[in-house]
Amino acid sequence: MFKTFDWPASCEIRAAIKFLNGRNVRPCEIYRHISETYGESVTSEAPEVAAEVLSLQDRLHEELKRRVSLTNSKKAQPVVFVTPLSSAEEVQFWLSTKGFAARTQQKFQNMRGDELFAMGKLQMEKELGVDEGFRLFNQITIQKNICGFKTLRSKELSSVLEARRKKIDPDDEFSDRRDSNDSVASSLP
């Protein structure tokens, strides 16, 4: 007499799981494939297959935990800014938050924000060394851009450029007068 097998045979499902495992298919894909091919009820009908599928679910759960922990492992740093109006204590807190060396923090222990903003790249590199000085200069440049800091030189440059524009084209009235369309538009109801 012939022995009859219920479809699907549990050995077939286990073989499919082992085959896909050998191909380095992710557990979620293996579980999806088994569920789509053999149906969701495969675990309840074949107890020996249930253990294989449950181990897949455990591996899937472990993979998800690992991936979630990778994304959550980055610690959120507080957002700290330094401006020309910052006190020496605020500058120290900013330096420590940005992860500057203790030597850097000590060198700038009594420095206010305006003094820090006034320092140039070469001066920072001379005080701290090339790497740390360059890093500090870049961080200060970012802070200057965030707070809209304008140096005296940039204001002087703007006034020189404006004077040169007027000198080149003194009859240019377009930059100083309002557009004629504005006056027409404002007179309409």
DSSP 177: S
pLDDT band per the 50, 70, 90 thresholds, residue 134:
very high
Count CA atoms within 13 Å of residue 71 on its CB side.
5
pLDDT band per the 50, 70, 90 thresholds, residue 185:
very low
What does the pLDDT look like over 37-76, one tens digit per residue? 777 666 556 566 666 666 777 777 787 788 777 766 666 6
What does the pLDDT look like over 137-163, one tens digit per residue? 999 999 988 888 776 666 777 788 888
Distance CA 22, CA 32 (A): 16
- pLDDT attached to residue 178: 46
Domains and CATH numbers, the chain: 9-43 (no CATH), 78-167 (1.10.150.50)
Residue with the larger pLDDT of the pair 116 and 12: 116
